[in-house]
Chain A
């Protein structure tokens, strides 16, 4: 291709924008996931890189007592550590645990709670 043919025509501008944008996303997403998230985060190429903590959940009854839900994983169709359990499990437990007024989320080592979701 000669030099005169190398001009910024619209298709080339679009291609260049795609190249720059794609690379920016592909580098930024794993960096953000690495610095801002706990657990095995998706889209970050973290395959088998470390031990992944799985949160624990407790049902809060009307009298304020808390009871840990031991087997919440059985409700999953497939256990993947990239699932954001802290986001998806509390609302589900609100629906299926009788008498629950709230669900509290604890860390894998039992420390916390780190979050509380009111039911109803």
Chain B
């Protein structure tokens, strides 16, 4: 075990998958900030009568400072996405995201929590080493440390694994949760023919099986491509069929999907490197 740990913290991995993952994560983060701004989410919480601080000792952002806070958040996310001094801009984006989550429990969302975790781990993985402004300007590297990439890959298994585990309950398998949350309006309306208990139960069972499959399939080479297809279809299905009580909820599901796709890029890294190098000459330094 100790030898394997030493090997993990001593080895490197190709930088291009990390760079591609950074771009996908950054796009998701930018979307989240824009959605928060257009929904006036932060202003509503800051001006609410009922405050729900996660920690009482943490200073609260003054009412009226929401706009500047969101502008700084967006700028950091944007610079991280294009790959400009990513350890600094990503670090700032992480700090702002973490503070946003910590300031008030009303601002919590699982995809924001995931965004903060991924930003931190990507920063540790030197995400600007490839497919970045920094790489174009000669500050790229062909490889990055392996251990933060391992933690990012592990995060994929943790998220899907606990998502499946949390659904092992009567409410879920009875179809009650899906009956409430499946779309009834819009372009992908659930046909009335399918509004049956059996359909919801089948979807509930299928969801647990898919999440359970995705929790391990990315780590078995011959299942990786299937996992990518299943995962993309799964997240597209969520975005298209979950009841949109507001457009911001759909954006939230899209951001969550992008965060997971950023992790897919790391799990199928070698394939991504081969395909991308073949089709698009992205700025990544060749191994010396």
Contacts and interface: CB of A to CB of B under 8 A. Distances in A.
Task: Give the dominant DSSP class at B's interface.
Answer: helix
Interface in B103-138: 104-110, 113
Interface stretch (B17-25, B76-84, B161-169, B223-231): B161-169
Contacts of A77: 44-48, 50, 104, 106
B185 interface: no
A96 B49 contact: yes
B105 A83 contact: yes
A12 B106 contact: no
Interface in A46-65: 46-51
Given A46-B166, A78-B44, A78-B45, A6 B50 contact: no
Contacts, number: 127
B237 to A, nearest CB: 13
Contacts of B139: none
A50 to B, nearest CB: 4
Contact of B106 (A15, A22, A83): A83
B166 A12 contact: no
Interface residues of B, number: 47
Nearest to A79: B106
B51 interface: yes
Nearest to B165: A34
Given A19-B151, A45-B158, A75 B108 contact: no
A18 B176 CA distance: 40
Nearest to A19: B147
Contacts of A50: 166-167, 169, 171-172, 177
B176 A34 contact: no
Given A26-B155, A50-B172, A96-B49, A80 B10 contact: no
Nearest to A7: B6
B5 interface: yes
Contacts of B8: 16, 19
A35 to B, nearest CB: 11
Contacts of A88: 50-52, 105
A45 B45 CA distance: 23
A86 B123 CA distance: 37
Interface in B166-204: 166-167, 169, 171-172, 176-177, 180-181
B160 to A, nearest CB: 8
27 contacts: A5-B10, A6-B6, A12-B9, A16-B9, A19-B9, A19-B147, A23-B151, A26-B158, A30-B162, A34-B162, A34-B166, A42-B110, A44-B162, A45-B162, A45-B163, A45-B166, A46-B110, A47-B166, A49-B171, A49-B177, A51-B177, A77-B104, A77-B106, A78-B48, A78-B106, A88-B52, A89-B50
Given A49-B172, A50-B172, A77-B45, 16 more contacts: A12-B10, A15-B145, A16-B9, A26-B154, A30-B162, A34-B166, A47-B163, A47-B256, A49-B169, A51-B176, A51-B177, A75-B48, A76-B50, A88-B50, A88-B52, A92-B50
